[in-house]
């Protein structure tokens, strides 16, 4: 018999979500100083081989896990929200919670960040902000200006697709045993196969509406995994010992496989192009590594937080309330901090640490004490 999902709040998921969003801020701080990735403002310092490897390792693991984990959590809560509110209520809530911040970011926050904070809109001859804004609007470039809120854009698409599928075949809570290790590895193989096929078919494709084409296959499959986890009530049932195995497997086996791929694939010589797509064994290996690491560490972290961090004090409640607002508004805050740090005569390691810590603290404080107390913003942040 179908059962109702317990009504109590999953505090460990709240804690995991604000932790993941904090890591997104750190990731963008890393992109600022490393040779890898794209961001509004970047410095291009001379780095030692050790620093390059350290940045590459951190960014690779973060890239493999963070967004897939967030999409999985989103799918989990989407399934519960549709079951409680119905399709109409779910869509209205998604449009308010995702659509409005996305629209505001694309039309206002992103352009202000580029023009005034990052200085990346450099027109010649110089134009006013309104002139540049109108030029980008007419050219359609603002459609690619979602910045980190591409996540909200993709979630809106997934929400609409799930609502349609739910109407055709409603998803009910039917507790069942969590999938065995073989099933998890098989799902990782599926994600890797689809990802490699997309990368091989479109080797030169970068982004569409600011969404990375090669990375995209992971997202709907992790979203679907989250829905399945809600339906089967899996998060509550995964044994602690199983979660620990996945966590250590993701760290140890994932770390070892990453080292092999980097050393054997030619990355140490500076040639990273075969890893990004096309019919290259390096691309296939990296897709396998990323898919396995995503699932292993996602499962391990969920169980770790469930067992160790399923409570909240005043600080954790504050971080939970303001986590989404930080995701929306951290870009201009972080860019302003890193541009100020450019004047500091310090090593890149110190600047990265200060940018990461300062970006997280400043973002949470400004969102919690300014943005969410501003009329009109509290409802969408």
pLDDT (tens, 9 = 90+) of the chain, 381 residues, equals 334 444 468 999 999 999 999 999 999 999 999 999 999 999 989 999 999 999 999 999 999 999 999 999 999 999 999 999 999 999 999 999 999 999 999 999 999 999 999 998 877 788 999 999 999 899 888 889 999 999 999 999 999 999 999 999 988 889 999 999 999 999 999 999 999 999 999 988 889 989 999 999 999 999 999 999 999 999 999 999 999 999 999 999 999 999 999 999 999 888 888 998 899 999 999 999 999 999 999 999 999 999 999 999 999 999 999 999 999 999 999 999 999 999 999 999 999 999 999 999 999 999 999 999 998 888 888
Q: Check if the beta carbon of residue 332 is closer than 8 Å to that of residue 117.
A: yes
Is residue 363 a part of any domain in this protein?
Answer: yes
Residue appearing with tokens 């209520």: 89
**207 membership: H or E segment, kind and range:** strand 207-208
Is residue 57 a part of any domain in this protein?
Answer: yes
User: How many folded domains does the chain comprise?
Assistant: 1
pLDDT of res. 8:
61
Is residue 257 a part of any domain in this protein?
Answer: yes
Q: Check if the beta carbon of residue 256 is closer than 8 Å to that of residue 200.
A: no
Is residue 1 a part of any domain in this protein?
Answer: no
Nearby residues of 250 by Cβ (< 8 Å), 6 or more positions away: 65, 292, 293, 296, 297, 300
d(CA 199, CA 276): 7
**211 membership: H or E segment, kind and range:** strand 211-212
Is residue 5 a part of any domain in this protein?
Answer: no
pLDDT of res. 272:
87
pLDDT of res. 206:
87
Is residue 92 a part of any domain in this protein?
Answer: yes
pTM of the entire predicted model: 0.95
Is residue 202 a part of any domain in this protein?
Answer: yes
pLDDT of res. 213:
95
pLDDT of res. 43:
93
Task: Tell me whether residue 241 is exposed, middle or buried, using C-beta atoms within 10 angstroms of its C-beta: 0 to 12, 13 to 18, 19 or more.
Answer: exposed
Is residue 2 a part of any domain in this protein?
Answer: no
Three-class SS state of 201:
helix
Q: Check if the beta carbon of residue 271 is closer than 8 Å to that of residue 320.
A: no
pLDDT of res. 378:
82
Domain that holds residue 106: 11-373
Three-class SS state of 208:
strand
């Amino acid at each position: 018999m179908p059962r109702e999902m317990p009504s109590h709040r999953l505090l460990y998921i709240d804690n995991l979500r604000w932790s993941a969003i904090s890591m997104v801020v750190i990731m963008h701080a890393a992109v600022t100083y490393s040779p890898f990735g794209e961001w509004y403002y970047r410095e291009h310092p001379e780095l030692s081989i050790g620093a390059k490897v350290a940045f590459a390792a951190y960014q690779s693991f973060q890239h493999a896990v963070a967004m897939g984990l967030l999409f999985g959590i989103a799918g989990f809560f989407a399934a519960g929200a549709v079951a409680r509110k119905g399709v109409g209520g779910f869509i209205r809530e998604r449009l308010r919670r995702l659509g409005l911040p996305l629209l505001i970011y694309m039309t206002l926050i992103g352009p202000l960040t580029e023009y005034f904070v990052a200085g990346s809109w450099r027109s010649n001859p110089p134009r006013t902000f309104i002139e540049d804004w109108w030029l980008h609007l007419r050219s359609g470039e603002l459609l690619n200006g979602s910045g980190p809120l591409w996540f909200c854009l993709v979630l809106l698409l997934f929400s609409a697709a799930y609502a349609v599928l739910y109407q055709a075949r409603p998803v009910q809570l039917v507790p069942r045993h969590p999938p065995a290790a073989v099933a998890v590895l098989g799902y990782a193989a599926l994600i890797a196969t689809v990802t490699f096929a997309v990368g091989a078919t479109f080797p030169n494709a970068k982004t569409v509406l600011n969404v990375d084409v090669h990375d995209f296959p992971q997202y709907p499959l992790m979203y679907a995994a989250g829905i399945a986890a809600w339906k089967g009530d899996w998060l509550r049932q995964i044994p602690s010992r199983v979660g620990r195995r996945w966590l250590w497997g993701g760290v140890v086996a994932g770390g070892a496989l990453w080292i092999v791929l980097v050393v054997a694939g030619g990355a140490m010589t500076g040639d990273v192009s075969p890893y990004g797509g096309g019919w290259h064994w390096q691309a296939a290996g990296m897709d396998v590594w990323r898919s396995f690491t995503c699932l292993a560490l996602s499962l391990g972290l969920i169980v770790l937080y469930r067992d160790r961090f399923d409570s909240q004090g005043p600080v954790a409640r504050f971080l939970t309330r303001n986590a989404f607002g930080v995701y929306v508004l951290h870009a201009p805050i972080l860019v302003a901090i890193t541009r100020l740090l450019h004047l500091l005569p310090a090593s890149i390691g110190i600047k990265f640490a200060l940018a990461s810590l300062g970006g997280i603290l400043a973002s949470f404080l400004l969102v919690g004490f300014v943005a969410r107390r501003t009329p009109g913003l509290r409802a969408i942040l």
